[in-house]
């Protein structure tokens, strides 16, 4: 609908300044793809990629890179591949601009999470079209970004669009838990190939509920996942003789203390703007709670957070570093008191949290010298995290493209989940998470990303490709 409105207002504008040859030249210069005609081609790339099994582990993302290489070669678009391991290649394509501005990077990941084939109605790599949907592992996470990036490169090249900045397309491996072969490898060893002013990638979506688009998330930052193991120690012995200092009891007290801990509440520029904009869209009682959060006294704010912890836990989590105990281990048999017991905590830190101070505080909260607090290193994110600004041409371009394509408002978001945007922000790139329309009710029924029936509304794939094009061309097209 907004397409039509935009076309109409452009027509009015042009007729107002008369159909001079200058105007004609300008309209010619605004080379726009014929989107309807591109749908079969978009679908073909999307389905072809869905049919490649790149589940991670083991990955085999090179399969996707080989496919993309063939397409790019046929189109005459230059690209390079970078592989830490032969089967796990990354691909970088680049269209050169005149260098007046620094590059823009489009990023998508080619791996997917694993599948349990028995739970799928349509086989997970069949790319079946049914009832307006396309089913398959990766149909939401993250093939749409790959296909949108690919189609944007193809159309920029075919239409020979003059560019003020280089447009880079990165198809990266290993996002789902093995970033050492993907983004870490690219950032640490080949950063020149992907360095940019702006980046658009995953980790947000456009929320639709019962057929109505509510808002467009644009992720400007994300929480930092950390893992901690609590190890409680105590005397071992025969269980018929209870011992004070029993490690299992000690561990239980520690878990209870950690769960009761109200970690400090903090807003950052992203979450402050998020709640301000959501308040304008929310029902009156929710809007009142948000106003309290933004302007209330500490006691009032605490009350609101208490309410959200029960009713909207996502909001409560956005306001503080969160802790969820997830794994407990201890003991071998009923009549043996074990000498230690362990619990694993999933911690999601606010972007500005100081990990060492936080762990020290955690130890004070547990207040037991016989419980060790051991941070666990894992592949991926623990780096200083940036927050991308909402006061930039990049963010404004996304807002305009959202209005044009989806007729809704942008809400800057701090994603609770992690993505590879974090590594790019840490290097100073203004990185924005964008995404396709997702039906909120779909997620609850198991059709979400990582779910056993992942699917996308076919028409939303096409709309996302257009949206992505609008964002990139409005930032890169030569003026
Ligand atoms: Zn993803």
Let me know: does 263 contact 323? Beta carbons within 8 Å: yes
Let me know: does 149 contact 468? Beta carbons within 8 Å: yes
pLDDT (tens digit, 9 = 90+) per residue, 52-80? Answer: 999 999 999 999 999 999 999 999 999 99
CB atoms within 10 A of CB 83: 16
138 phi, psi to nearest 5 deg = 100, -5
Q: Do strands 371-376 and 167-172 pair parallel, antiparallel, or not at all (unpaired)?
A: unpaired
Let me know: does 452 contact 113? Beta carbons within 8 Å: no
Cis peptide before 90 (omega within 30 of 0): no
Q: How many A from CA of 71 to the centre of ligand 1?
A: 23
Q: How many A from CA of 175 to the centre of ligand 1?
A: 7
Range 353-363 average pLDDT: 95
pLDDT (tens digit, 9 = 90+) per residue, 143-197? Answer: 999 999 999 999 999 999 999 999 999 999 999 989 999 999 999 999 999 999 9
Q: How many A from CA of 155 to the centre of ligand 1?
A: 25
Q: How many A from CA of 450 to the centre of ligand 1?
A: 9
pLDDT (tens digit, 9 = 90+) per residue, 384-415? Answer: 668 899 999 999 999 999 999 999 999 999 99
* pLDDT value, residue 160: 95
Structure token pair of residue 206: 């456009």
Q: How many A from CA of 171 to the centre of ligand 1?
A: 12
Task: Of 111-115, 121-125, 148-152, 379-383, give the lowest mean pLDDT range.
Answer: 379-383
* Claim: this prediction has a pTM higher than 0.75: yes
Let me know: does 117 contact 124? Beta carbons within 8 Å: yes
Rounded distance, CA 373 to CA 371, Å?
A: 7
Structure token pair of residue 286: 């929710």
In 141-295, beta strands by DSSP E: 167-172, 198-201, 206-209, 212-222, 224-233, 237-238
Q: How many A from CA of 448 to the centre of ligand 1?
A: 12
Place of tokens 């679908």: 43
Nearest one of 316, 218, 221 to 268, comparing CA atoms:
221
Q: How many A from CA of 339 to the centre of ligand 1?
A: 41
Q: How many A from CA of 109 to the centre of ligand 1?
A: 7
| Cα–Cα–Cα angle for 320, 322, 327, rounded to 5 degrees | 180
Rounded distance, CA 453 to CA 438, Å?
A: 14
Q: How many A from CA of 346 to the centre of ligand 1?
A: 19
Place of tokens 């974090």: 422
Structure token pair of residue 433: 């998470």
pLDDT (tens digit, 9 = 90+) per residue, 76-95? Answer: 999 999 999 999 999 999 99
Q: How many A from CA of 13 to the centre of ligand 1?
A: 41
In angstroms, how far is the first alpha carbon of the chain from the final one?
27
Structure token pair of residue 453: 């029936």
Q: How many A from CA of 233 to the centre of ligand 1?
A: 39
Let me know: does 136 contact 72? Beta carbons within 8 Å: no
| Cα dihedral 115, 116, 117, 123 in deg (nearest 10) | -40
Query: CA distances (Å), 336 to each of 238, 244, 333, 339, in order?
Result: 5, 14, 6, 9
157 phi, psi to nearest 5 deg = -70, -50
Range 433-456 average pLDDT: 87
Q: How many A from CA of 45 to the centre of ligand 1?
A: 18
Range 192-215 average pLDDT: 94
Q: How many A from CA of 449 to the centre of ligand 1?
A: 8
Q: What sign has the CA pseudo-torsion 64, 70, 73, 75?
A: negative
Write out the residues surrounding ion ligand 1, Cβ under 5 A. Answer: 141-142, 202
pLDDT (tens digit, 9 = 90+) per residue, 212-271? Answer: 998 999 999 999 889 999 999 999 999 999 999 999 999 999 999 999 999 999 999 999
Q: How many A from CA of 334 to the centre of ligand 1?
A: 43
| Cα–Cα–Cα angle for 411, 416, 420, rounded to 5 degrees | 95
């Amino acid at each position: 609908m907004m397409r039509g409105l935009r076309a109409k207002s452009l027509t009015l504008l042009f007729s107002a300044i008369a159909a001079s040859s200058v105007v004609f030249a300008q309209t010619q210069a605004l080379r726009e793809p014929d989107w309807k005609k591109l749908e079969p081609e978009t679908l073909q790339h999307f389905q072809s990629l869905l049919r490649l099994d790149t589940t991670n582990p083991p990955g085999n993302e090179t399969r996707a890179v080989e496919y993309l290489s063939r397409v790019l070669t046929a189109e005459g678009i230059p690209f390079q591949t970078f592989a830490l391991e032969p089967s796990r290649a990354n691909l970088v394509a680049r269209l050169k601009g005149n260098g007046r501005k620094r590059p823009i990077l489009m990023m998508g990941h080619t791996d997917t999470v694993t599948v349990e084939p028995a739970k799928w109605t349509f086989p997970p790599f069949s790319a079946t079209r049914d009832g307006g949907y396309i089913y398959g592992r990766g149909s939401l996470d993250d093939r749409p970004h790959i296909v949108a990036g690919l189609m944007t490169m193809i159309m920029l090249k075919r239409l020979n669009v003059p560019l003020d900045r280089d447009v880079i397309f990165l198809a990266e491996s290993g996002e789902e838990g093995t970033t050492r072969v993907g983004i870490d490898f690219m950032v640490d060893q080949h950063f020149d190939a992907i360095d940019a002013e702006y980046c658009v990638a995953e980790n947000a979506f456009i929320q639709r509920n019962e057929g109505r688009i509510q808002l467009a998330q644009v992720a400007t930052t994300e929480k930092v996942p950390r893992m901690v193991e609590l190890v409680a120690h105590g005397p071992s012995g025969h269980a018929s003789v209870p011992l004070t200092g029993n490690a299992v009891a000690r561990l239980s007290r520690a878990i209870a203390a950690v769960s009761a801990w109200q970690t400090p509440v903090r807003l950052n520029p992203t979450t402050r703007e998020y709640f301000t904009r959501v308040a304008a869209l929310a029902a009156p009682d929710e809007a009142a709670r948000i106003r309290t959060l933004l302007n209330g006294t500490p006691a009032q704010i605490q009350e609101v957070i208490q309410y959200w912890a029960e009713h909207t836990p996502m909001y409560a989590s956005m306001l503080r570093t969160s802790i969820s105990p997830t794994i407990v281990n201890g003991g071998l048999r009923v009549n043996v008191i074990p000498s230690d017991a362990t619990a694993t905590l999933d911690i999601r830190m606010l972007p500005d949290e100081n990990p060492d101070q936080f762990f020290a505080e955690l130890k004070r909260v547990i207040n037991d010298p016989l419980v060790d607090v051991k941070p666990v290193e894992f592949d991926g994110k623990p780096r200083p995290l940036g927050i991308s600004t909402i006061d930039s041409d990049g963010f404004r371009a996304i807002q305009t493209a959202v209005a044009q394509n989806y007729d809704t408002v942008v809400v800057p978001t701090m994603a609770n989940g992690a993505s590879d945007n974090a590594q790019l922000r840490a290097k100073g790139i203004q990185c924005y998470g964008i995404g396709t329309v997702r039906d909120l009710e779909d997620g609850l029924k198991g059709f979400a990303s990582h779910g056993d029936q992942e699917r996308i509304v076919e028409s939303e794939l096409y709309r996302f490709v257009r949206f992505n094009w609008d964002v990139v061309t409005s930032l890169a097209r030569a003026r």
